[in-house]
Structures are given as structure tokens and as C-alpha cells.
A = this chain, B = another copy of it.
Amino acid sequence: MNTIENKIMDEKFKILLADSVNEEITTICDILQETYDVVVDSDMSVDVLKDNKFQIIIAHEVGNAEAGIDFLKKTLELSPESVRVLITDCSDSALLIRAINEAKIYRYIKSPYSPTELKLVLKSIKEYLLLKKENDKLLLDLKKLFTGTVSAITDALDGKNPYIFGKSRRVAFCAIKLAEYIGLSDEEVGKIDIAGLLHDIGMVGIPEKVLNKAGILSPEEKMITKQHVENGIKILEDIKQLKDILEIIKYHHEQYDGNGYPFGLKGEEIPIASRIIAVADAYDGLISNRSYRKGFSHEDAIKKLKERAGTGLDPKLVDAFVKVMDKSLDEFRAFEEELTKL
């Protein structure tokens, strides 16, 4: 509680205060202005919400609870995140139930009330809002820490092979773009991001002499590299929070026509997220240098991808990928450039 107590002192929240009669408004303003940034909406037009964000919206309606409830209801659409407070002398329970259910009020203060009471209610609302904010920040911070660390480690692993440095990040980048383009949810896109970073983690088990071989791999060496999928599964399978990510990584070398490995799944049996990673991975493989050839240009890589549509890759996703890379090529080039600086 202590850290929150301190933040309550520091942060100046914005309050929108409405009253159609403007009765007592000056008194309330005086009380609140010590701690809050207060804007008065005397015509109750909600227009001010179009250009301003308020954490707290108060309707003060003595003698006219209905007007207050209607006003708070109107604010819902423009400012759903705000906390709504109704101050009124009314205790008609039908009206109060409307205020709760329709105007989604968070707190009701019965008039007459003391300044201390008003301050206490607002302090507790602030505590609630700060907790919510802290929740969001925590999530974001820890997500950054997680992806940052995973990126750093996979970069280091990618660096073991002179031909794949930055691969995990590039694949994640392209897979995210494709996933967003076809309209997957933010949550799905987030999973694809991490799966993109971790899809080749199993390469850590492949001997360097195979990873770094100058020249085309022998059939036996190819068999060895294929084990990276099963290695990856072994590495990550005990982490229960990565279950969804593991499901994506498991199938990233399955092929649309069923000729992939290790399970030989076909078409839509392969999870869509894995099919997305497969397209991004294939593109990255094409544009990257190899010991036996220089990387293809973007145009040639796209041509080659199209040739694989329907055999190795999901044709609809190849289609979408061509479109999305058309729009995102400059951004991708800038991202690649950034990676070379690492």
C-alpha cells in the first residue's frame, strides 16, 4: 500500500465536474482543486470529453438525480475508462439502480456530505485507478523484460551461425506483420512474436560443425538439423505459461501439402500461427546469404515464395504476405539495418 500512498500524493488526476444548476459547485471546486485538476462542465454537454481525458467524472445533481444519471450515461461512450461518481440527495432505489446499471457509476455520495467524506471517496478512487495503471505497467514492463531477454539470447544463438544472425528477430518481425494483416487478435499476435523469437531455440542442440558447414549439408547432416524442432520442444515443454507458444513452434516445419516434419500434418491441421511462422521463416531463408549462394533480392524471394504456395506454404498466407511486405518493405529494411548494429 505504501508505494501507492506515495503515488497518490504525486499524481494530479483530472476530474470533470458537472452540475446543471451549478449549485454548490464553487464549494466542491475549492475542496477538490487542492489535489485535483478540475474542469467544470456547466452545460452538461460532454463536448469537453472529445478533446480531453478525465480519470474521474462527477455529476453533482441535488434535486435532479435523473439529469445526473443521464449525463453520466452519455459520458460512457466518449470516456469508458473514466470512473463515474454521482452526488445527489436522492435515495430512490429505482433511480440508483439505473445509475449503477445504465450509467455504470462507481460511487454514489449522498448529499448533504462533509468535505472529509468527499475527499475520502476520491482518494479511494484514485487508489483504484493507480492500481489499475500499475497493473498495466507491470504487464508491459515484464513483457519487455521477457522479450528483451529472449531476443538477446536468441541473437547470441543466431550469432553462432554466420548465415543466420538476426534471424529470430526478422522472422518475428515478418510473422507479426502477417498476423496483424490477416486480423488476428493482439493476444495472438503477441504469442506469434514470442514464437518467432523462440522457433529455432532447438538449434542450440545442433553441433557447430553442422551449423557452420561451408557448403550444402549432406542428407545425414540435414537429418541432424531437422532435430532442432524436437530439441526446441524438449527445451520448452515444461514451462506451463509457454504452452501456447510451444504449440506454434512444434509445427513450424510442417508443410501445407503434408511433406513437412516432424509430424507430417497437412493444410489446416497445422495451426495458423505455425503456418504464419513458416511463411516468415521461408522468406527469411530466401533473402539471407548462404555459404553456397548469395541471398535473393526481395522480388526474387517473393517469386520463389509464390512457387511454394500450395505445396510447402499456405497459399492464402503467401498471398497476404506478398501484400503486407509490399507495404512494409521499407520498415523491414530499417529493422534489418538496426539489427546489423547489434
Contacts and interface: CB of A to CB of B under 8 A. Distances in A.
Contacts of A114: 91, 93, 96
Contacts of A236: 149, 152
Contacts of A143: 142
A117 B113 contact: no
Nearest to A155: B235
- Could you say how many copies of this chain the assembly holds? 2
Interface stretch (A37-45, A123-131, A163-171): A123-131
B97 A116 contact: yes
Interface string A154-185: 01110110000000000000000000000000
Counting chain B CB atoms within 10 Å of each CB, the highest count among A97, A115, A153, A155 belongs to A153
Interface stretch (A13-21, A53-61, A204-212, A320-328): A204-212
Contact of A139 (B96, B138, B152): B138
Interface stretch (A23-31, A101-109, A283-291, A311-319): A101-109
Give chain A's interface secondary structure class.
helix
Interface of A: 91, 93, 96-97, 100, 105-108, 110, 113-117, 120-121, 124, 127-128, 131-132, 134-135, 138-139, 141-146, 148-150, 152-153, 155-157, 159-160, 201, 204-205, 207-209, 231, 235-236, 238-239, 241-242
16 contacts: A93-B116, A96-B120, A100-B116, A105-B120, A110-B110, A131-B132, A138-B138, A139-B142, A141-B241, A148-B238, A149-B242, A152-B236, A153-B204, A153-B235, A156-B235, A159-B204
